[in-house]
Structure 1
Amino acid sequence: MRRRLRYRLGRWRDQGIALGWLVSIWILLWGDVTWGNLLGGLLVGGAVLVFFPLPPVTFGGRLRVGALLAMGAAFAVDLVRASLHVAAVAVRPGPPPRSAIMAVPLRVHTDLNLALTAEVISLVPGTLIIDVDREAAILYVHVLDLDGTGGIEANRERVLAVERGIVRAVGSATELNLVTADRESAP
């Protein structure tokens, strides 16, 4: 009973935050803070949340600031490295580079992990999420210049390293064990 009440309160809190953001965006779009814009934003935001509900995203972990900073630094390095690589591919004469679409099954099957990993991967130049299998937690990733980035296994490990960094930063202890055990059992 107590757990169900906590879930409902958390869901209402999340809906309230989403409504606040939608109203803020509505007011920014109109460019003027008036009672009419506030009321219109509440009506439109409420309708969006009622008619287009988002699935609940649970957060079972905790925020680890050190791991979050390490993930951010690794992302920045990867962003610069990939930007330079894509720029070199763009100006290099000759035939176009060999690209590939590969399936990468993630180890942690939560919507939050799936969404965050897909976002980080898509932000890096040269990689793009083509499709997501939510049930099986598989990301389908397009990789530009497969040979120049180390091949399929190197790119798959890169995606799994992003997942590992995200789980270390915001995952639960169980999720952390999944990505750590998988890393230790790899040859």
Structure 2
Amino acid sequence: MTSHTTPTKTLAVAGAAALLALTGCSGGTAVFDFTEPMVEPAQSIKFRVPDELIDISEDYAEVRVQESVTVSSVESEDPSQCAVGYRFEYVDGGLERLLASLEEEGDKDQSEEERMARALVGEPLDSIELSEDYSSAVVPVSCAVSPNDTENTVKVRLKQTPESGESSFAWAEITVMKSGDLFVHEPEISDDWQLDSDGNWIQVG
């Protein structure tokens, strides 16, 4: 696997052991599908676009890359830091389409791994752990001062290929407490999709 660290962002779990341990959080995995606010913290959250929205958004159905992205808190070797693990579940052909689009549209001076690090977690390759098959990553982050601390966050993105005009269809910010609790902030869906008061997906704007 590809292994990169920086002196200021050392991960407690490096290499394959880190990337295989992402499901080891206590309390199970919460599911967040952008339909309701997440009022309780969790130490592992699976982000996905609801099937109903995929069915009515034909453009997204054709260009979506991932089935889900799971974010879990993991230990950081630096006691002043936190860290999260990502696990990416791709739709059939999604990874191949993402790689092809980044090769065509991405920075030609960057390697494939560098482009994928930016695309998947928004961080440079030399500050994270990224698996060779791009199915998982470990990212260091400053611990949040409180659940409402939006200055120290990581982002989760549900990707789509760029012929749609946007590189992500849905995204959210996550704060990470030292306890390992994760809190979701500012979830958004692109293309002006939102729920009406009856719980139906509509396009506005």
The answer to whether the superposition gives a TM-score over 0.5 is no
Q: Which has the higher helix share?
A: 1
Q: Which has the higher strand share?
A: 2
Give the greater-gyration-radius structure (CA).
1
Q: State the TM-score, normalizing by the size of structure 2.
A: 0.27
